[in-house]
Amino acid sequence: METPKSAIESIKDSLKLIPILKLKYKVKANYDGDDPTLFVGVAESNMIEVLRPVVEEYFGPPYKPAGETAFLKNIFDHFVKSVGGVRKEQTLFRKEISPTLILFCAFWPWGSDPVRTSIRIGLIFESQEEEDGISKELAPFFR
C-alpha cells in the first residue's frame, strides 16, 4: 500500500515540532524502548503548560486532556489502547492523517519523579505494510 504524498507532507509538517521542542525549549531526547515513537523527550513538568499551546499548533486540542478520566477510552478506544492506555494525569493529542494512520503526541508525567514529564511523538499504523511504506519516506525522523 502506498501512502499518499499529501499524508507524508502532513506528517512532515507536524514533525517540525520536534526541533522546536529540542532547540527552543531544550527538551532532551530520552528514548526508552521500542514503541511507535519518532521522538521521546523529557521536560521539566512545570514547562508543560508552556509547551501545550505549542503542541496544539501542530496537533490541535488534546484528544484527552490532563485531569480528565479516561476509563471508557482505555477500554473501548482502539487509538488509546494502541498507545498503551492513558491515565488521568496524562495528556494525549491525536492528529488523523488518514483513516489508517494517526500521529500522536503525549505528555506522560513520571510517577517516579513528578518534576519530569516525557513527551512522546509517534505514529499508529493499521498495517505493517503501511508502516514499511512510510518508514522510508520519514527515515530522517525515526531514531
Q: Which residue has the cell 484528544?
A: 63
**Domain membership flag for residue 143:** no
Domain containing residue 65: 5-138
**pLDDT score of 35:** 55
Residue 2 has pLDDT above 70, yes or no: no
**Domain membership flag for residue 19:** yes
Phi and psi dihedrals of 18, rounded to 5? -60, -55
Residue 53 has pLDDT above 90, yes or no: yes
Q: Could you tell me which of 118, 121, 138 has the C-alpha nearest to residue 27?
A: 118
Phi and psi dihedrals of 64, rounded to 5? -140, 100
Q: What percent of the chain has pLDDT over 90?
A: 55
**Domain membership flag for residue 62:** yes
Q: Which residue has the cell 486532556?
A: 65
Instruction: Spell out where the chain has E strands.
Output: 28-29, 37-44, 91-98, 101-109, 116-125
Domains identified in the chain, total number: 1
**Domain membership flag for residue 109:** yes
- Complete DSSP assignment for 85-105: ---TT-EEEEEEEETTEEEEE
The CA distance from 58 to 75, in Å, is 27
Q: What percent of the chain has pLDDT over 70?
A: 90
Q: Taking the model in full, what pTM does it have?
A: 0.86
Task: Average the pLDDT over 73-94 and give the result.
Answer: 93
**Domain membership flag for residue 58:** yes
What is the separation of C-alpha 2 from the centre of its chain, rounded to a whole number of angstroms?
23
1 band by pLDDT with thresholds 50, 70 and 90: very low
Confirm if 80 and 68 have CB atoms less than 8 A apart: no
